[in-house]
Structure 1
């Protein structure tokens, strides 16, 4: 199969990265060109035999997209064009698929549908995503929650494939940790509004009043870091909260934690949650992404409504103060993630989804 993939993920350009390895595994046996729209970068990389990543950098995202479109207007014929998401790369892929008269395959990992739009940006982009998805020959989403959202906007169920994001469970199941001996809560997240870190700080401040020995480590960075650090101080927990910044390897943090908390307003899937569960940590998370499918309330974690600091604080109190409950939820989380597809299984399923798109035209 001749494949053209359009992506925003600049990690693909590092052949040693997990993203590049996933692409090489998934597209093995294809003639694949992966167009990476990455402002400020201009390089081509061979990921494997027949699989090449090309970049169109420009000085801005707009410039990068214009360069990519100029190239794609003369792209070689292919069987399938696949887009990483249904808005920016989706619009490019739709135009290319129309020009080449080939199949359009779109990935939807955002969980954008089946919930209220978060902020003005989503309200503006949702109609664009809806337009592209309705034109797609095949759609790949990561959860049953995502599938329900797509059906709600009129996508035929028969055109949707649910393929969870593959995680190397073995890499995290070997993490050596003992959550009953720690007083540390852990969150791995970008520091952006949709991640709900402000809600987490409010909930942690309530927990800290009754458990002053507790600490919170937040791994990740983003535009809200200074605001959130100031918020932690205003809650009088500044000394108990560590903003650790980005980490290439989060396993050392997982090994020192008593529990993992994900307070997001929305998630497409929640890879950090899966990694924490594979590491043997009990999970407290909002009802987003993989909640209800992998992390089930009372079995493999505690699940609370998004944006509810009081409910989140109560769940943290239950898990933090009850060692037997922590152990039970940790064991349940580990069992749950073992049922997920391996990277090899996911690659086979994605290739089948692409083949189904090809057969539809």
Structure 2
């Protein structure tokens, strides 16, 4: 089987990156794997052969608005002689990359799989012009996919309902997380001594961007401090909202109880530092940090997004609040802060589900991905557009 992927992950051009190593390993199950990557010409990236059957191609575009044109041109050269019965196109998303996939499918008749890594049907996703346009693109091209791979049951259900798709054509294959290795290799180190002023520490590990809704976390903290004044909010990450969030903390009068830390290679130590992990995102495709927190036996309080609900139950494995429900977050954080036994029970219950449902050997994982592509090819023979 020959596979063409369309995406935007430029870490593929970085030797030794985890995404590059994973795709090279995945390609051992294919005859050929070709990956076209949206990239600006100024980055200076070049076509590379990174293993005996894997090639990566930057679009080297003048700007983001010409990514699609460049990717279609490169993709056309790659697949023009491919056998439609033994080849497939898989796009990273049903947006810009999806447009490329549709154009190539129409031109060459190659079966098409869309991958969906974010909950773009969440009402919160459409804030901003670019995301509004992306949803419109998905609405117009979803019908051309022979199959769809999603990372959570929540996204599968939403896509099937919105686009009236056959449930068999939508496969749930989460992001691969080596839970066993993560648990075995986690450190016992913690940074608790850095924050002696806090009796309880609530941790967030996140990009500092709008969709992560950290602004609300600061408002939640303000109300939590009324009951638990020695609580600290530790925010680890980087992003464009850092200064805005620091200013918001000052405006709310909670700056003395908030600590911002940059990204670290020793994230495990930050998990070990915390009493509770908090996620307030407007939307998530998956929610990897929830899994990481659970692997460290840190109880989780999260908005109802991503994998929340895919086996993790409110009040049993974690605490769940509707998106934007500040009062709910405050109540559930206060309960956990004051009840150490409940925190431990959540952590134990979460780990049990984690080990039962979210541990998978990487070799099995890539077989599942290959099978999703083979199903896409077989499905293409029964669908006419």
Could you tell me whether the CA contact under 8 Å between 1:108 and 1:141 is conserved in 2? yes
Q: 1:252 corresponds to which residue?
A: 269
Distance apart, 1:89 and its partner CA: 0.6
Change (3 A) 1:336 1:86: same
- Once the two structures are overlaid, the 10-residue window that deviates more, 343-352 or 266-275, is 343-352
Residue 132 to residue 177, structure 1, CA distance change in 2 (3 Å): farther
* 1:282-304 CA distance string (max 9 Å, x none): 11100011111143211211000
Instruction: Report the Cα offset of residue 147 of structure 1.
Output: 1.0
Counterpart in the other structure of 2:369: 350
- 8 Å contact 1:27–1:351 — kept in the other structure? no
Distance 2:269 2:49 in 1: 32
Structure 2 stretches of 5 or more lacking a match? 193-198, 381-385
The TM-score with structure 1 as length reference comes to: 0.93
For 1:128, the equivalent position in structure 2 comes to 137
State the distance in 2 between where 1:208 and 1:133 align: 47
**Match in the other structure for 1:236:** 253
CA distance in 1, matches of 2:149, 2:100: 17
Question: Which residue of 1 is the match for residue 196 of structure 2?
Answer: none
1:1-59 deviation digits (Å, cap 9, x = unpaired): 10100111122222322222222232223100111112343133444331122222334
SS in 1 for 2:349: helix
Question: Which residue of 167, 183, 186 corresponds with 2:200?
Answer: 183
Deviation digits for residues 72-120 of structure 1 (CA, Å, limit 9, x no counterpart): 2322344101000100111011111222211001101212226565314
Provide the residue aligned with 2:148 in structure 1: 139
Match in the other structure for 2:383? none
Q: 1:319 aligns with which of 314, 332, 336?
A: 336
Q: TM-score, normalization: structure 2? A: 0.87
**Following TM superposition, by how much is the alpha carbon of 1:277 offset from its aligned partner in structure 2, in angstroms?**
1.2
SS at match of 2:239: coil
SS at 1:261's partner residue? strand
Instruction: Identify if the C-alpha distance between structure 1 residues 46 and 279 changes in structure 2 by more than 3 Å, giving closer, same or farther.
Output: farther
Gaps of 5+ in 1: none
SS in 2 for 1:73: helix
**What is the RMSD computed on CA atoms of the aligned residues?**
2.1
Contact 1:177 1:256 in 2 (8 A): no
CA 1:300–1:45 in structure 2 vs 1: closer, same or farther (change >3 Å)?
A: farther
Structure 2: how far apart are the matches of 1:176 and 1:210? Answer: 32
What CA distance in whole angstroms lies between the structure 2 residues aligned with 1:278 and 1:48?
Answer: 33
Instruction: Tell me the distance in 1 between the aligned counterparts of 2:358 and 2:178.
Output: 10
In the TM superposition, what are the counterparts of 1:74-89 in structure 2 within 5 Å?
74-76=77-79, 77-78=81-82, 79-89=87-97
Query: Following the alignment from structure 1 to structure 2, what is the Cα–Cα distance between the partners of residues 243 and 108?
Result: 31
Report the equivalent of 1:275: 292
Q: Is the 8 A contact 1:2 1:32 kept in 2?
A: yes
User: Measured at CA, do residues 59 and 252 of structure 1 come closer, stay the same or move farther in structure 2, by a change above 3 Å?
Assistant: farther
- The CA deviation at 1:234 is 1.2
1:33 aligned counterpart, secondary structure = strand
> Helix, strand or coil: the match of 2:5?
strand
Aligned match of 1:32: 33
Whole-angstrom distance in 2 between the partners of 1:296 and 1:38: 41
Which string of whole-angstrom CA distances, capped at 9 and with x for unpartnered residues, describes residues 237-263 of structure 1?
213212223334422211211111110
In the alignment, which residue of structure 1 is the partner of 2:195? Answer: none
Counterpart of 2:301 (choices 284, 305, 314) is 284
Which SS does the other structure have where 1:119 is aligned? coil
Aligned length: 360
Q: Once the two structures are superposed, what CA deviation does each residue of 1:207-241 show, in whole Å capped at 9, x if it has no partner? A: 22332322112122222221111001112121321
Which structure: larger Rg? 2
Tell me the CA shift for residue 172 of structure 1.
2.7
